[in-house]
Chain A
Amino acid sequence: MSPASPDQEWKKGSAEFLVLSLLEDKPRHGYDISKLIQIRSGGVLSFHVTTLYPLLYRLEERGWIVGRWVEKSEQRRRRYYSLTPAGRKVLRSQRQSWKEFVAAISRITGVEHA
């Protein structure tokens, strides 16, 4: 699999998985999420506002994440997204099938996954 130009379809399917993974350890706001995706993918992946927020709202609509305005002292308020128990469950199952998928691909293609 060449990471150079990930195609749109793949991106759409895995984007949900990425967002859920990033929210696993703590709640984050939208900008935080987009920066993390960009940094951790080494700049390969990036989301525009017009892609990221519809995704977040969709996940929220499904009840996998929940957005809340949070006020921290000395900071402006921000909307933080956190995983719901349902989202946590989805994340687990996605992670499992992703693993299986990658394993299957590498078995076939002989590409070692990182």
Chain B
Amino acid sequence: MPEWRVIIRERLAGLTLEGAAESSLTEELAQHLEDCYREYRNGGAGEEEAYRKTIAELDNTHPLAAAAQRLQYSTSYEAISVGDNRPGSFFEDIWRDLRYAARNARRSPLFVLFVVLTLGLGIGANTTMFTLINTVLLNPLPVPNISELAAVCVPGSQASAKTGVPLPLSYLDLKDYRTRNVAFQSLAGYSSPRVITWQASAGSDKLGEHSSGSQRLFAELVTGNYFYALGLQPVVGRFFSPDEDATPGAHAVAVLNYGTWKARFGGTPQIVGRNLTLNNVVFTVIGVAPAHFIGINGIFGPDVWIPSAMTERLLPTELHNAFDDRNKAVFFGMGRLKPHVSRTQAQANITAIAANLAREYPETNQGRSAAVWSIRDVLFVGASTGSSSIFFASAGLLVVVGIVLLIACSNVANLLLARSSARNQEMAVRLAIGASRRRLIRQLLTESVFLGLLSGLAGFVIGYAGLRLVFSGWAVSSNFIAPKLDLTVFAFALCVSVVTGFLFGALPAIKTSRADIAEALKEEARTTGRSRRKVSLANALLVGQVAFSFLLLVTAALFLKSIGRAYQLDPGYQTAHLAVFMTNPGQAGLAKPQAKAFYRHVHDRVTRIPDIQSASWSSNIPLWSRPVSGLEIEGRAKRFQAEAISTIINTVDLGFFPTAGIPIEGGREFNNTDQENSRPVAIVNEKLAHDFFPRGDALGKRIRLPGQEQFREIVGIARTANYTSWGEAPQPCVYVPLEQNYVDAMTLYVRTRGDPRQVVAPVQAELHAEAPEIILANVLTGPELISDGLFQTKIGVALLSAFGLLALGLAAIGLYGIMAYSVNQRRREIGLRIALGAARFRVLQLIIKEGMTLVLAGVLIGFAAAEVVGRFLSRLLYGVSASDPLSVGAAILVLSIVALLACYLPARCASRLDPLVALREG
């Protein structure tokens, strides 16, 4: 290859360009000639020919020389890729920064791992909580336009419709509201889920291995327009037609829950047309409801929906007279409001109808009102706590996970600050070659958002795992609401990640970009420690972390103690030696005489078991009772709707009170004289006696239960107990004898001498021996009853404790990181101290003291915060004061131990420094 540079220089000899320009011009032209030459050669020309043709390009150099001379020939040089000719646009810059961030991340994998783990835990905790909230509160009903839906119910005993518990309407009332209202497009009715028995072994039901013997299912009775009003479409088959709900008992059809269809019938589309024998009535399956829809009772739903016209045939004893008795309240009203009709307008309409009904049917409807609820307010009627406390708890926990994330952010921010001194030089160089500060901040923020997104990915995975963990304690069944990891959750995690990136990146970015060019460049590679300002900022962040973790720990400790206390609360009956067995002879097809014989025989058999002290029957399960409205007291006129008395009603057999451990405070227990044809009697609890007979003259007075014709004489007063939830406010209760009020589903109460778990198997054997066709729906011992009653609180406490410990762990890591960093930065100083004769334990002391001062400040602030938060929490605590010294002490102890450890390790490191090495390094 000829030396083109030399040739060009010769040809352009007259040119007087400055050095750089001249060599640049020469290089450009030489490259061109080189390319030409190579091409001629590749085209088959010989060396000489190629040379001749190429050199011809330089025939007349005059114009070239002139142009080059005229032009201020630019030698500017850029290491940019081709195509980057335009001045950097916003997105191109972001892309460039992102790639730079990714390169940076690859260079320090440990740092990235730490950040991703720390933030991932924080984001994961948030994702878990948000999924729960999204599932339960934000998106509980998978139906279109949920805001158009409203419920019509009877307000509970509380005066105001908005605070009372929504209670059901009678079938006739619902029908009247349905036909007379002008506010709803269509008003449907639904019951709460009822236990039914599926005779799965009955001939045509056989569906493979799943079907054997009798199984327990839950059924909801709904009006024919129920699915239509909700705007749902069946997955398979169809929903009820209006005529299927027109004639009582005529059309035995059923719609299956999607989960039940999948789990029990393998999701076969051939399900339509199959028969199901439910409570000895043969039903035909006509369709399957859409996935995720489990009815309106938010958390817990039925396996099948049955048209309301089948009410009496499905549950003959329980819902006897449901069609013609306005006192038999079974159905909740629900419907879609007409366009442009507000809930207030609907309320006015319903109130007017209620007033008319009260005039038309004074016997039953006087003083009974109805209220229009937002559908969200009736979603959790089935849950013992109601929607407001679920909302309260969720909001609380969301705040907690928010704090955990903040701690994680401040940890990472601290780490970035520590790194910022190392990057000072890089920033200074960038500033020196003309980057603007804004541009630097943007680049640093892009880096942190990039890290945030990485962590978000990890967080999403951790959140999913956390969700599995939370729901592993939840009975897996198609009846329960299932957590949904949908797009909303993903969008939430994404937003949190980006915000997180800004949050932990902003402070360090501003700090770092403020690099003093001259100083930073002079410092060379050696850093002499963090500036005072940086240290104090890091310390402030750390104090905040400690304060927050302390707050969470105290709160968790308070709730833990409160749960411990809750177990010791007196529910009004004995639990230590109690076991209950739920049976349902009516659904197994036993008629009244057989069922009564069953109750009697089982009682006799069971009491023969040596370890059993006594046994009795009750219609209610502890903590599962629901109040009903409409109790009447003789001689007491209902003047206001607020005076409609709601009460718990419990049908009990002889010997119930001693077996359950409920003391009779006045009058007598039920005895053999209380027979079907003798004088109707009742026992009331102290709460009812005190509220309605304040002069203490309840004995001998008469009351009438809703739906019954005869008045009952009060013959005894029992102590008030917890009926609906643990530690509840006292509520009225009426006990009636089984002989006078037959119920076809009763629960056997057994009082044992020793551990109730010991008798479960023998009692089950006796029950089976007496009537093998009767399924034992559920067996619970006293302690299990309490655990179930405290289930929601326990889940809350478990989450709170987990998050509290997470926060503590993060704070400890942060503390350790800062101490280790500061020790490392002060090696020279520490080395000097040791060289000058400081004892090693003094050094240890010095470092620990520094760390623990921060911890102490955090604890003090956290303590003050806990005091404030405690005020809000006091109403959720069972018998524990919000400033309980034991809880506070425990939190301080745990925090101190962890903090001490986090300080000790770096301190020990410092005290073992070899002064010679430290000084030489410095």
Give A contacts to B, CB under 8 Å: 26-27, 29-31, 34, 48-51, 53-55, 57-58, 60-61, 66-72, 76-80, 82-83
Contact = CB atoms under 8 A, between A and B. Distances in A.
A66 B75 CA distance: 11
A80 B33 CA distance: 16
Given A69-B77, A79-B28, A61 B71 contact: yes
Given A27-B85, A31-B31, A70 B63 contact: no
Contacts of A54: 63-64, 66-68
A72 B56 contact: no
A19 to B, nearest CB: 14
Given A30-B32, A31-B35, A70 B59 contact: no
Contact of B58 (A34, A49, A77, A80): A49
A69 to B, nearest CB: 4
Contacts of A78: 28, 31
Interface string B23-34: 010011101110
Interface of B: 24, 27-29, 31-33, 35-36, 56-64, 66-68, 70-71, 73-83, 85
Contacts of A79: 24, 27-28
Contact of B71 (A50, A57, A77, A80): A57
A41 B719 CA distance: 108
A68 B78 contact: yes
Contacts of A26: 82-83, 85
20 contacts: A27-B83, A30-B28, A34-B32, A48-B60, A49-B32, A50-B64, A51-B63, A54-B66, A57-B71, A57-B73, A58-B67, A58-B71, A61-B67, A70-B80, A70-B82, A71-B77, A71-B78, A72-B81, A79-B28, A82-B85
Nearest to B63: A54
B82 A27 contact: yes
A62 to B, nearest CB: 10
B706 to A, nearest CB: 85
B24 A57 contact: no
A69 B79 CA distance: 8
B373 to A, nearest CB: 65
B6 to A, nearest CB: 16
Nearest to A66: B74
B70 A57 contact: yes
Given A48-B59, A50-B58, A69-B77, A57 B68 contact: yes
Contacts of B57: 48-50
Nearest to A55: B67
Contact of A68 (B56, B61, B76): B76
Contacts of B28: 30, 53, 78-79
Q: Is the interface of A mostly helix, strand, loop or mixed?
A: mixed
Q: What are the 8 closest A-B residue pairs judged by CB atoms, nearest first?
A: A54-B67, A82-B85, A57-B67, A49-B57, A69-B77, A54-B63, A57-B71, A31-B35
A71 B32 contact: no
B81 A50 contact: no
B25 to A, nearest CB: 8
Nearest to A69: B77
Contacts of B73: 57
Given A30-B32, A31-B31, A57-B67, A50 B75 contact: no
A54 B63 CA distance: 6
Nearest to A27: B85
Given A50-B63, A57-B71, A70 B58 contact: no
Contacts of B82: 26-27, 70, 72, 80
Nearest to B81: A72
Contacts of A31: 31-32, 35-36
Contacts of B56: 48
Contacts of B74: 60, 66-68
A48 B35 CA distance: 13
B773 to A, nearest CB: 82
Most interface-central of A27, A53, A71, A83 (chain B CB within 10 A): A53
Contact of B67 (A53, A76, A77, A80): A53
Nearest to B73: A57
Nearest to B61: A50
Given A57-B71, A69-B24, A76 B63 contact: no
A86 B762 CA distance: 98
A49 B4 CA distance: 13
Contacts of A55: 67
A48 B64 CA distance: 11
A69 B78 contact: yes
Nearest to B54: A49
A50 B81 CA distance: 28
B70 A61 contact: yes
A55 B66 CA distance: 11
A77 B56 CA distance: 25
Given A31-B32, A31-B36, A53 B80 contact: no
Nearest to A54: B67
Most interface-central of A50, A53, A58 (chain B CB within 10 A): A50
A107 to B, nearest CB: 36
Contacts of B75: 69
A53 B77 contact: no
A54 B832 CA distance: 69
Contacts of B85: 26-27, 82-83
A85 to B, nearest CB: 9
A71 to B, nearest CB: 5
A53 B79 contact: no
Nearest to B85: A82
A51 B131 CA distance: 71
Nearest to A77: B77
